Amino acid sequence: MIKCIRRLAKEVLAISSGGGGKIKGAWRWNEEVKEKVREKQDAYTTLIDSIMKEEVKVKRVEYKVAKKIAKNAITVANNNAFERLYQRLGTKGLFVLLVNFYLLTSTKFNQLLSTSTNLKPL
């Protein structure tokens, strides 16, 4: 009975199967950045849980500060990660990577255009 109710609820309410909790680009983060993101999330949770208007004002300011700090830490971590990547690849490796990306996308784009009736491939 419970399984039937859950199945019907999923069908009617269009509940997804999950998997949306992953943060894109988190592979570039170090422990310092992860800690600052956790602090930002904690500040948001306390902001949502606050009831009094004065408390909400204070918590909103704390959240904005934590958000700015986390955003700056993420930017620094991303810049460092891509700088290391570019140094490892070098100019030749980067050029090869860009050419391969262009060829992959252009062939897929041309295939999409060729299936369409009104458009012609490049």
Give the start-to-end residue ranges of the domains of the chain.
Answer: 26-94
In sequence order, the 6+-apart residues with CB closer than 8 A to the CB of 43 are 59, 62, 63, 66, 67
Spatial separation of the C-alpha atoms in residues 59 and 83, rounded to whole Å: 36
What does pTM read for this prediction? 0.58
Residue whose token pair is 């988190």: 26
Three-state secondary structure of 89-112: HHHHHHHHHHHHHHHHHHHHHHHH
pLDDT attached to residue 118: 54
Cα torsion through 104, 109, 115, 116, rounded to 10: 180
- Which residue numbers in the chain have pLDDT < 70? 4, 8-22, 107-122
